[in-house]
Structure 1
Amino acid sequence: MTADVATGGQGDRATERPGHSFGCAQDRPVTPSASHRVIMRLTYGDAATLWRINLGWRRRKNEEEYGFILDVENGYWATNKDAAETDPEDPLSVRTERVIPFVEDRRNCLLLEPIERLAPEVMASLQPALKNAIQVHYQLEDNELAAEPLPDSDQRHILLLYESAEGGAGVLRQLVEDPEALSAIAREALTLCHFDPDTGADLHRAPGAKEDCEAACYDCLMSYINQPDHALLDRHAIRDILLALREATVRTSPTGESRAEHLRRLQVLCESDLERAWLAFLEEHNLRLPDAAQVIVDACQTRPDFLYTEARVAIYIDGPDHDQPDVKTRDVQITDCLMDAGYTVIRFSYRQETWTGICTQHGYVFGNPQL
């Protein structure tokens, strides 16, 4: 699930790096309208596969030589000297092989990719600021959320956040599904970095602190875990981007294409102006778009106007003819069949003034309307 963070109005790409790779379970991008300026792209992966790969010593002489030497007979790690002394023709020689160890796990992950390339000190400072703000906002322990730069600490182009606790807390998904969540996180980050979240004014220090914070301190960005980054940390470097995120809105698409592209595809598949009006209503109120349109459900020999496939929700946009008794009877039969097949059926009539109430009633499907 991917979303664009846009300013100027209301408004899971898999990546890989040496030593760390990321498999995204769901990719859902979004592109706002022309009146919005996209500043960041979010990609969420639900129970995505993570590999942590150890490519070798940091200070190895040959940067292109990956892995470690393993004594395959005794199961002990060997030295490079042992590898050099290995003679395949000598039966008494130690048998060694070069291996690249890795571990694999499945975690809820979120990639944050700024649209414009940011300076290393900005990315390094944004990493603990957002991580700490998420932990405070959602009341997480420090060991429940992890953050790392991608592709590596020397090239900080993307920020990877993942729920490190077993099972995950489910908070990262909210950052792409709740249009206001990231704004709240940005406000929390501003507060943690000693800025007024409303005006952006520098408050200089944390409440109760005896000294001013110049660039970073252990009350804002610094921790024992990120000591290698301490020279880069600067709370002033991220003030403007946090203020921008505070005013930004997240707009999400349910497929692997942008929201605008997905919306256009759905509009092409519409068979009535009423269906197109319903899509326009969803877009106007920044509600979740359906995954598909005009897909036949064979079990019931019916073709809902739209489908939310993951939630198994069938949408019908009913015109005035559905007020006829015989059509109503047929609609009831279709609804019963779909419910027996495990679907939830939601019907919108041609009375458009009722649409907001229906969406609010089924917020788990559409999200919360922005009125």
Structure 2
Amino acid sequence: AAELELCCHCGTPLKLHPEGKAVRIPRLYQIEQVTTKRADRITSDDEERQRLGYELITTYEFPKENGVVKVAKAQVSCAGQPLLELSYAPATQISRVNLGWRRRENKNDMGFPIHPTNGQWGGEKDLRGDAADDDGPEVGFVKITPYVQDRKNALLVRFLGDWQPTQLVSVKSAIKRGIEVAFQLDGSEIAAELMPNEEFATALLLYESAEGGAGALSRLVENASSLHAVAKTALEICHWSWDGEMPALEAQLVNADPECEAGCYRCLLGYHNQRDHDLIDRQQPELKQWLLDLARCELVGQGGVDGRSTILERLKDLAGSGLEKLWLDTLYNHGHHLPDNAQQEVPGH
């Protein structure tokens, strides 16, 4: 139970926090199958849905093997100054939760009405008016918070330094576009989400949202040249150019498209980030300098998860008898999964 009160990535206690770092979501229900029907005309309700939109949040959990998080990590620095911490893992569990209408009055009122017997979605009026009668067998609408879940290759980019969440909106768009162009990917193949949310953002979660990612994210944590290519491409996408060698200071960049002010559909603006258009600014000095630093960065402290031999030695150190060590050696030599832990006490047994 104690483990459930801690963040699976950083170990921070998951207590309700006044700054929104943690939130309790009621009545979670995983949606695995849906049925739709074609409509010849949309109604005013559909238009309202498109206009308002949903409040979505994304969560992630890196995979574990033998009780150890299976993640490759690297630190990124430029001229001795730390820029980023990278954490990459294949088959990361990505969950997308739909909390409700974005403009609902009560933010604590999460979820949507659904009929438990036929699975048909309803509205608030159904939730109020279709309660089951005391004398009848009919079941009324109930409210659930739907979510979907899948496993994707994912890269967590944790920003080091003094950043404002609003500034990271531009960084997110620049990095996503840089990856797409540098690795020749379609816009739907890579997803980018500020974590834990846009209001309190400190990190960026990138994951392969469709087949065909071509291992782009793993290459970013393996060698600095891939980071250099993404940063250089992002600068060019943002209409910045330079003569000769790449400059070290953002003030030395040349504006290749003066007609584009904060952004345009040829650089950082697009259909997928329409809600961010008011915050995106390609001329942000912090963004330009950060991309320049990333274009000449170094990867330091690169490393992955402990190998099987390291896990074996850890378990043997915890073993209480020679028989346990012999059993562990047998598992190891035959290629079987090793235990998650040793000498674990089970209450009541």
TM range (shorter): 0.5 to 0.7
Q: CA RMSD in A?
A: 3.2
Quote the residue 2:146 is aligned against: 101
2:267 to 208, 220, 223: 220
1:239 to 257, 279, 288: 288
TM normalised by structure 2 equals 0.63
2:92 to 22, 34, 48: 48
Instruction: Spell out the pairing of 1:317-332 with structure 2 (5 A cutoff).
Output: none
Quote the residue 2:107 is aligned against: 63
Quote the residue 2:26 is aligned against: none
1:23 counterpart = 2:53: no
Q: Which amino acid aligns with 1:23?
A: E
- Offset at residue 233 of structure 1 (A): 0.7
Quote the residue 1:72 is aligned against: 116
Q: Distance in 2 between matches of 1:241 and 1:32?
A: 12
| Contact 1:54-1:67 at 8 Å conserved across structures | yes
Instruction: Spell out the pairing of 1:303-322 with structure 2 (5 A cutoff).
Output: none
Report the secondary structure of 1:73's partner residue: coil
Question: Residues 120, 94 of structure 1: CA spacing in aligned structure 2 closer, same or farther, 3 A cutoff?
Answer: same
Quote the residue 2:344 is aligned against: none
Per-residue CA deviation, residues 134-179 of structure 1 (Å, 9 max, x unaligned), is: 1111111222112122222333222111112226421100000113
Question: Residues 95, 140 of structure 1: CA spacing in aligned structure 2 closer, same or farther, 3 A cutoff?
Answer: same
| Contact 2:97-2:147 at 8 Å conserved across structures | yes
Report the secondary structure of 1:78's partner residue: coil
Q: Distance in 2 between matches of 1:88 and 1:14?
A: 48
Q: Which amino acid aligns with 1:40?
A: L
Per-residue CA deviation, residues 94-142 of structure 1 (Å, 9 max, x unaligned), is: 5121111111111111111112341233211111111111111111122
Instruction: Spell out the pairing of 1:177-192 with structure 2 (5 A cutoff).
Output: 177-192=222-237
Max radius of gyration: which structure? 1
| Contact 2:74-2:221 at 8 Å conserved across structures | no
Q: Which has the higher helix share?
A: 1
Quote the residue 1:36 is aligned against: 80
Q: Distance in 1 between matches of 2:135 and 2:97?
A: 32
Per-residue CA deviation, residues 179-225 of structure 1 (Å, 9 max, x unaligned), is: 3221221111111112226124443345xxxx621221112111122
Q: Which amino acid aligns with 2:295?
A: R
Question: Residues 203, 78 of structure 1: CA spacing in aligned structure 2 closer, same or farther, 3 A cutoff?
Answer: same
| Contact 1:44-1:109 at 8 Å conserved across structures | yes
Q: Distance in 1 between matches of 2:171 and 2:146?
A: 30
- Offset at residue 55 of structure 1 (A): 1.4
Q: Which amino acid aligns with 2:289?
A: D
- Offset at residue 41 of structure 1 (A): 1.1
Question: Residues 77, 204 of structure 1: CA spacing in aligned structure 2 closer, same or farther, 3 A cutoff?
Answer: same
Quote the residue 1:314 is aligned against: none
| Contact 1:73-1:95 at 8 Å conserved across structures | no
TM normalised by structure 1 equals 0.60
| Contact 1:111-1:160 at 8 Å conserved across structures | yes
Question: Residues 168, 247 of structure 1: CA spacing in aligned structure 2 closer, same or farther, 3 A cutoff?
Answer: closer
- Offset at residue 293 of structure 1 (A): 6.1
Percent identity reads: 33
Report the secondary structure of 1:146's partner residue: strand
| Contact 2:170-2:279 at 8 Å conserved across structures | yes
- Offset at residue 32 of structure 1 (A): 8.2
Quote the residue 2:215 is aligned against: 170
| Contact 1:28-1:252 at 8 Å conserved across structures | no
- Unaligned 5+ runs, structure 1: 1-11, 258-289, 297-339, 343-371
Question: Residues 90, 57 of structure 1: CA spacing in aligned structure 2 closer, same or farther, 3 A cutoff?
Answer: farther
- Number of equivalences: 252
Question: Residues 107, 204 of structure 1: CA spacing in aligned structure 2 closer, same or farther, 3 A cutoff?
Answer: same
